[in-house]
Amino acid sequence: MNRCQESELLDRDGVPDAQAARAYQDLTRIHRYLGDTRLIVGALRRDPLPVRRVLDVGCGHGGVLADVRKQLGVEVVGVDVKSPGVRHGSIPIIQADATRDPLPMADVAFSMYLGHHLSDDGLVALIRNVGRSCRRFILLDLVRHRLPLALFRLFVAPLASPIVAIDGRISIRRSYTGSELECLVGKALAGSASRSRHSIAPLWIRQVADISYAQD
Ligand SMILES: C[S@@+](CC[C@H](N)C(=O)[O-])C[C@H]1O[C@@H](n2cnc3c(N)ncnc32)[C@H](O)[C@@H]1O
């Protein structure tokens, strides 16, 4: 399967606020059911250094950040290229392009389902840019593979909002394979002492690049 270049409905202009809000709520629930949120919370808990402030890059309406704050009691901040029409409670969200704009300082950053929105060069730029404001970046994304695509069609799409049902299929076909992501992370960190661990979950339901930036 080649990487598809189609844009997602949520990325387009003119999506009514209520439909966008429903789609982001669905995404937050999907992250809970698939264990993505648990993975991030667990990784933050096990971090050997103090984690006081957490940044979600490409946070949408901040639903996952609200879950992280509730479970860990840490300070949270989100960044998204789009201004959130609706936001989760009091989650602070800054509008910025995470590939090039200055990002808020935090101990650890994470991103969910953001990487596949970017070109190869955009992803490399994102990884380098996050390293200017955080010491660790947990990049979680989908995997381009036939099995998660089939599972999504069968078990998730029928229960999701129309936007998520359509965007989910595009997202998986637009994602990086494990080796493509590993290669781009390697390119972003080349020449530095920064390190990354890459893992793929069973059934290819997600991949994670856990990046620790070298501290100057
Ligand atoms: C599929 S949504 C995922 C939202 C949220 N992370 C989640 O998983 O529930 C991808 C988000 O990334 C944002 N995004 C795309 N490109 C971005 C960029 N260059 N900088 C910051 N955010 C970006 C989009 O606006 C969108 O809200």
Is pLDDT at 69 greater than 90 in this prediction? Answer: yes
Please state, in angstroms and rounded to a whole number, the distance separating the CA atoms of residues 50 and 8: 37
Look at residue 6 and tell me if it is in a domain. Answer: no
Look at residue 10 and tell me if it is in a domain. Answer: no
**C-alpha closest to that of 65 among 102, 36, 85:** 36
Please tell me if the CB atom of residue 98 comes closer than 6 angstroms to any atom of ligand 1: yes
Task: Dump pLDDT digits (tens) for 103-137.
Answer: 999 999 999 999 999 999 999 999 999 999 999 99
Please tell me if the CB atom of residue 204 comes closer than 6 angstroms to any atom of ligand 1: no
* 71: containing domain: 16-212
Look at residue 2 and tell me if it is in a domain. Answer: no
Look at residue 4 and tell me if it is in a domain. Answer: no
Kindly state the tokens that stand for 117.
């929105």
pLDDT for the residue 83: 81
Closest CA to ligand 1's atom 27: 60
Task: Dump pLDDT digits (tens) for 20-48.
Answer: 999 999 999 999 999 999 999 999 999 99
Task: Dump pLDDT digits (tens) for 159-196.
Answer: 999 999 999 999 999 999 999 999 999 999 999 999 99
Q: Is 170 helix (H, G, I), strand (E, B) or coil?
A: helix
Helix residue ranges, H only, 35-161: 36-46, 63-72, 120-130, 146-151
Task: Dump pLDDT digits (tens) for 137-165.
Answer: 999 999 999 999 999 999 999 999 999 99
Look at residue 204 and tell me if it is in a domain. Answer: yes
Please tell me if the CB atom of residue 99 comes closer than 6 angstroms to any atom of ligand 1: yes
From 22, 117, 138, give the residue whose CB has the most ligand 1 atoms within 8 Å, as the site to mutate: 117
Name the residue type at position 151: L
pLDDT for the residue 100: 98
pTM over 0.95: yes
Look at residue 118 and tell me if it is in a domain. Answer: yes
Please state, in angstroms and rounded to a whole number, the distance separating the CA atoms of residues 15 and 80: 16
Q: How far is the CA of 197 from the centre of ligand 1 (A)?
A: 23
Look at residue 8 and tell me if it is in a domain. Answer: no
List CB contacts of 59: < 8 A, sequence separation 6 or more. 65, 78, 79, 80, 91, 93
Look at residue 184 and tell me if it is in a domain. Answer: yes
CATH code assigned at 55: 3.40.50.150
Please tell me if the CB atom of residue 81 comes closer than 6 angstroms to any atom of ligand 1: yes
Please tell me if the CB atom of residue 80 comes closer than 6 angstroms to any atom of ligand 1: yes
Specify the number of domains making up the chain: 1
